[in-house]
Structure 1
């Protein structure tokens, strides 16, 4: 009974927030990380994105490597899901654009067994060269797709800290090569504890951060405690933004609907921990209240959004998606306040 009561109270709070949202704020990038599917998408798969108030979607084609020391990336193959291929990307982008939703194309690497991409590291110089050549093939192919599809923003990589630490000159030249092909805005998706040592922000348009900052260690966080925890990170990001004269963009943000969701928000393991819808909603609300009104902050992309809206999320789901949970209404409230 207690869980049901808290759920109903949270829905009522979101409704009151929505009703009080009469003042329109400066525009932000209000994005979703749109998960690739096996099939093409149609209007029924885009309508929930529109209903959320989103004005941007991150489209994420994948390239695959066998292990953390393997230098060759496989991509755009017949064995991949439609949405992970060049053809699928173009179909998704066209339909989103037809609905006035802008796109960030965000090609990503998947390591076999889901190992963290930041740990990718070669053991020999020859392998580093092979990795550089393979990554260039991958990212420049999608830069070309981005240009042909008139994509508004392109993300040059996601959480590749070892690769960047070890090969900074390669990345500087890669940005030059990308700009010869693609004429839109560029960013990189740095992990939350990586962005301050990423060496090429001055060559990009946005400082991109996958914002899985630890903000609360309790089983069920409170709004005020979480907002207070954000202020340290917020101060650091503001200083960094001013230093580089670039806006901060959350290339990913979000929380699981699970106990202790704010303690290590990057955790993706499949666990049977207690579903905690309230924790996800409170953590999400705190992030919006602390950041979305800042002029140095450009907005962000919630992690993550599936195309079959009615078939995912819900009150028994402890994963990241906010769909069909109280957190979805929190996002909708703020997205509609901060329209571009």
Structure 2
């Protein structure tokens, strides 16, 4: 397993990438505060493009509400001026609210029905467009997909996507598989670094890391968590992926999650970092931190936990 990959002390910025929200003073301040608060060395510039529903075959990435290419360029330039490495992360969402993991079609193409072949044609155009932008802007990494569980089995088509991306982009390529799915992806050999969403309950980290370690050993690739985080509300430390979970505001719950995740991960040299979830472009005021129950760490106790951990992990790993 690769243990020499420089440590990724990262935070996701900008989700969901609403047009008009990335090129103003508030967005500039948000990026600066993220950098100052967390001792990060990477950020994932992250945004969504929409298809109408899980069986739609057209991804409308040039249309509102998706941020424009110029807005993406602006954010990348600002991040790099802060000394951060950048992972560009274009994501597909469904405009009807269905989670992207449920994008799915018949395994065999059937006339008059929506087809995998049509969807992947649109997805390839979408991803190659942003791969070219990542190349233009010297992004160090490109994430070619996020939590697209039903697509994971389409091995040959994902390999074709990766080949098309490599034709125009020479940086690192990763795919962000969903939680619990690390051992379901059969094409990890085609990417440069394996990544997944680390939304594991506080009492499951050791068991889940044992399972993931077998995948990392099999493919002998670097690994990091492309997403990981927890809302600051009661109960979320036990169900961190449920952003709609009802509960009172609790900074303690969020902090307990991070402490458990970091304690377990620190024992595994093959865990080469995190791109934590998430930090919005339009950040709440510091006085609102105590009443905010979302994933963002700004002004919350877990921010100190993250900062201290990142400082320790990157002490000898800066390039």
Q: Same fold (TM over 0.5)?
A: yes
* Aligned residue pair count: 298
| From 81, 89, 97, the counterpart of 1:98 | 81
**Inter-partner Cα distance in structure 1 for 2:7 and 2:47:** 24
Q: How does 1:8-19 map to 2 (within 5 A)?
A: none
Rg larger in 1 or in 2? 1
Contact 1:292/1:299, CA 8 A, preserved across alignment: no
The match for 2:167 is: 180
Unaligned runs of 5+ in 2: none
**Inter-partner Cα distance in structure 1 for 2:305 and 2:75:** 26
The match for 1:45 is: 30
Alignment RMSD (CA, Å): 1.9
TM-score (norm 2): 0.88
SS in 1 for 2:290: coil
| From 42, 58, 81, the counterpart of 1:56 | 42
Task: Provide, for residues 131-180 of structure 1, a one-character-per-residue CA deviation record: whole Å limited to 9, x for no partner.
Answer: 11110111010000010000000111001121222x22111111111111
**Inter-partner Cα distance in structure 1 for 2:302 and 2:59:** 36
TM-score (norm 1): 0.82
The match for 1:136 is: 124
Distance 1:146-1:187 versus aligned 2 partners, 3 A rule = same
**Inter-partner Cα distance in structure 2 for 1:62 and 1:88:** 13
Distance 1:293-1:96 versus aligned 2 partners, 3 A rule = farther
The match for 1:14 is: none
The match for 2:98 is: 115
**Inter-partner Cα distance in structure 1 for 2:96 and 2:11:** 25
Q: How does 1:1-340 map to 2 (within 5 A)?
A: 28-35=7-14, 36=17, 38-41=21-24, 43-51=28-36, 52-77=38-63, 79-80=64-65, 84-123=67-106, 125=109, 127-165=115-153, 167-215=154-202, 226=203, 229-269=204-244, 272-292=246-266, 294-311=268-285, 314-339=289-314, 340=318
More helix by share: 1
Unaligned runs of 5+ in 1: 1-25, 216-225
**Inter-partner Cα distance in structure 2 for 1:173 and 1:27:** 28
**Inter-partner Cα distance in structure 1 for 2:77 and 2:169:** 17
Distance 1:153-1:292 versus aligned 2 partners, 3 A rule = farther
Runs ≥4 in structure 1, deviation > 4 angstroms?
none
**Inter-partner Cα distance in structure 2 for 1:109 and 1:115:** 11
Distance 1:272-1:262 versus aligned 2 partners, 3 A rule = closer
